[in-house]
Amino acid sequence: MSTTRATELPLPPATGAWREGDPPGRRAWLTSAEPLPLEGGGSLPGVRIAYETWGRLAADGSNAVLVLHALTGDSHVAGPAGPGHPTAGWWDELVGPGRPFDTRRWFVVAPNVLGGCQGTTGPSSAGPDGAPWGPSFPYLTQRDQVAAEARLADALGVGRWAAVVGGSMGGMRALEWAVGRPERTGSLLVLACPAAASAEQIAWGTVQIEAIRSDPDWRGGRYHRAGPGGGPHHGLGVARRIAHVTYRSEPELAARFGGGAQSGEDPRRGGRYQVQSYLDHHADKLVRRFDAGSYVVLTEAMNGHDVGRGRGGTRAALSRVRMPAIVAGVDSDRLYPPSQQAELAAAIPGADGLRIVGSPYGHDGFLIETGQVGALVEELLGRL
């Protein structure tokens, strides 16, 4: 974390996770006491899922749309920041009356992912002994996370989603819904994600995990009860800096920052470049709203993403996706390049070719280019 920023703001808590006693915001919860079997063996002794909804569920449950967030996102797809919600909705422009997810017609559901830190069971949650799970939290796969989301669907009375929509890590889970539960997935929109994590993507994730685990304040994952400033903030901040570089494009960084120094600072005398200050800012924001243990668990799940595992390979698995589907990539994405989405579009029978979101912002374009993404949402839902 930047020492310049640290002197301007109070010390962050040991974890940025939502904790018991914090304002609930507009979350609701599903608590399931039934053990959740895990793909890798063992089980979780019950799960709690935080989620948010917009609109009203039809009597026959036919108008429900599932929206799945990316790595450091959460259930707060729409709405302002405020008590219980550290950031504004990440697709706020897309949800509401007259918007692409038109809540006059659609019942929109967004859960916080299993293993996350904004109200759903994860490393910062209380484990069986009442203490935070910490390093005892089990390894998860995308299929485990979808199994938990299926319990939420059951509890809400949704037998089949009209559409499942997600980008990046959310797109991985959307693919798992379509491949593993095609009978419960009416249509599909996946943005900026692959059929399986590549060696380079696993490498980037592994470096970020190591940055967190090598922080002395990681304490083997047992840091949740440390005082303010006591968590692995440096390691989580480094992980965020690495990730953020992969999320944006080189031309955008060059155009915004070039090699310029931060105002009032001289890199030759220990000061920062503009791009360093930018990365420091994003690192500082994340450590105040996210949990390092969740970052590790979710990144490990992304590293293990492979829709073809145990299903005869990716092409055989994707051949099950016969519902209406739109696959889109961001033209400047260097983390999950459009070539990976082209492979998805070619293998999914229900898709009609690859769509391209034009953006200078790299991978983050799927979050930023809401006009183009909204048009894809409207197209998909217009088919139903």
43 given a catalytic annotation: no
| C-alpha 32, offset from chain centre | 22
Q: Which of 74, 144, 363, 364 is catalytic?
A: 363
| Spatial distance between the Cα atoms of 40 and 273, rounded to a whole number of angstroms | 44
Q: Which of 125, 168, 294, 332 is catalytic?
A: 168
- DSSP label at 123? T
Question: Which of 358-377 are b and which e, b meaning 16 or more Cβ less than 10 Å from the residue's Cβ?
Answer: ebbbbbbbbbbbbebbbebb
332 given a catalytic annotation: no
Q: Which of 332, 333, 359, 364 is catalytic?
A: 333
Bridge partner residues of 37 (DSSP) = 43
H or E stretch covering 245 = helix 233-247
Which tokens is 88 given?
């504004």
Task: Using only the alpha carbons of the chain, give its radius of gyration.
Answer: 20
319 given a catalytic annotation: no
User: CA dist 368 to 72, 193, 279, Å?
Assistant: 15, 16, 18
Question: Which of 124-133 are b and which e, b meaning 16 or more Cβ less than 10 Å from the residue's Cβ?
Answer: bbeeeeeebb
Torsion angle of C-alpha atoms 238, 373, 153, 58, degrees rounded to 10: 150
Q: Which residues are catalytic?
A: 168, 333, 363
